[in-house]
A = this chain, B = another copy of it.
Amino acid sequence: MVRPSTEQPCSIARSLEVVGARWTLLILREAFSGKTRFAEFREALGIAPDVLSERLSTLVEYGVLSKEPYQEPGTRARYSYHLTEAGRELWVVLGALQQWGDDHLPRPEGPTIERRSRNTHLPLRVGFVDPKGKEVDLDDVQMLRTAAYPTTT
């Protein structure tokens, strides 16, 4: 079981090695909604325990979640899973997927979750922004190869 993982030159491919497996992004969705425990993830998603176990340890391995002991009074110590800063930054990915689903796979009832600013309460979208924090239109976005781009063999 070799894990070439972060060996891929493409950042998208590397990210997908960490979060691209089935269930992983849904586990993270639940983590963003505040769930931290094995059984909580299991009940929310209906995922098989062996798959959940494997996904959680991958996420911990790559620093998306941290595994932390906790102890409720009168019980033994157990472990819970918490988003790290790196994990929280995946919120953009989930937000982008959510937005795309809202826009292109709508349901008659409308979205079940909306993204809003905590301060201004304005609805939020996910998009490309320049260094001054100004949104840029999709048509204005280009992907450029850098010097690190592998030469075609």
Contact = CB atoms under 8 A, between A and B. Distances in A.
A153 interface: no
Contact of A144 (B107, B114, B143): B114
A2 interface: no
A116 B142 contact: yes
A12 B146 contact: no
Contacts of A89: 100, 103-104, 138
Contacts of A53: none
A129 interface: yes
Identify whether the interface residues of A are mostly helix, strand, loop, or mixed. Answer: mixed
Contacts of A149: 112-113
Contacts of A91: 138, 141
A47 interface: no
Contacts of A111: 11, 146, 148
A118 B141 CA distance: 6
Given A62-B105, A92-B100, A92-B127, 12 more contacts: A9-B107, A11-B97, A11-B99, A86-B100, A92-B99, A107-B148, A113-B145, A113-B146, A117-B130, A123-B131, A125-B128, A126-B128
Interface of A: 6, 9-16, 18-22, 25-26, 29, 32-33, 62-63, 86, 88-105, 107, 109-120, 122-131, 133-136, 138-146, 148-150
